[in-house]
Amino acid sequence: MSQVQSEPSTHNNLRPAFMTPQKLLPVEKCSLGCPILDCCMGGGIPCNSITEIVAESGSGKTQLCLQLSLRAQLPPFLGGLSASSLYLYTEFPFPTRRLHQLSSSLQCQYPQIFASNYDPCDSIFLQSVNTADQLLDIMPQVESFLENSKTRLPVRVIVIDSMAALFRAEFENTASDLIRRSSLFFKISGKLKEFAKRFNLVVLVTNQVMDVVDSGEGVNEVRIGNLSGMYSSGRRVCPALGLSWANCVNSRLFLSKDEYESGLVGGGESGFLSRETRRRLHVVFAPHLPDLSCEFVIRREGVVGVNR
């Protein structure tokens, strides 16, 4: 057996071990199940960090959360994490029917992975959350669940859908409430980042948008990330929860949707213009991604990117 020959110890060999940029970047990712979306995301949603999806209602935020929670159960060679998910939902009712629909499609796509007597929905653990204080209060139970769960697959995905709903009506625009709200932001995100690094988790949260009403240089005019402005359904919008929350997430994605006239249907006086909804995913900011975007559609089998 050969032995490693050590070089003589000299002053020149004592060099500080600098960390390379590559070591700072999240390595393991969970695929979204579509090559176009994964390409836009640099391979999928990264572990060890918080990824936020910002969009107006009906844009596809929850669809992506459900899709990720299911596909996380696939083995790594198929883009998954061989993992269960903890899904904390704040919008009611929970879309059970859509989850089962996506689950059935995944089972049909990978019959060799999911046996006939195994339902992927059984590896998604649901918990309703009504207030921001409740979310913070259950963090010890979440930690215990991550440490001691006897689940079929280890829990390596946490979804919070949506964060904005927890702060929508509970806080007023007063100095004391804004300070308390910011404090909750940092406490909640701090625990989530701790869990993400300690357990090598994907943490995915959703956020809503507000219409931009300021025409001057107000807080809504502050540029954060790649986009000089966010537009959806013909309106200029900005992420809810403000600048304090923006500093709590590692990556932000924006889903936009707009209607276009796709052509004339029928002929003569009875004809009418058909309208088509186009959706697009934008990378607003991420430490490991350039300025990218791609178009996507929502189908029965899930969210998929399209090339036009």
Give the CATH architecture of domain 24-213+225-306: 3-Layer(aba) Sandwich (3.40)
Please tell me the distance from the alpha carbon of residue 128 to that of residue 90, in angstroms, as a whole number: 6
Evaluate whether 105 touches 300 at the Cβ level (below 8 Å): yes
Evaluate whether 15 touches 9 at the Cβ level (below 8 Å): no
* pLDDT tens digits, one per residue of 220-276: 555 677 787 899 999 999 999 999 999 999 999 999 999 887 666 665 566 667 778
Please tell me the distance from the alpha carbon of residue 51 to that of residue 234, in angstroms, as a whole number: 26
pTM of the model as a whole? 0.86
* pLDDT tens digits, one per residue of 77-108: 999 999 999 999 999 899 999 999 999 999 99
Please tell me the distance from the alpha carbon of residue 176 to that of residue 125, in angstroms, as a whole number: 35
> Percent of the chain scored above 90 by pLDDT?
70
Cβ neighbours for 292, distance < 8 A, ≥ 6 positions apart: 40, 282, 283
Domain regions of the chain by residue span: 24-213+225-306
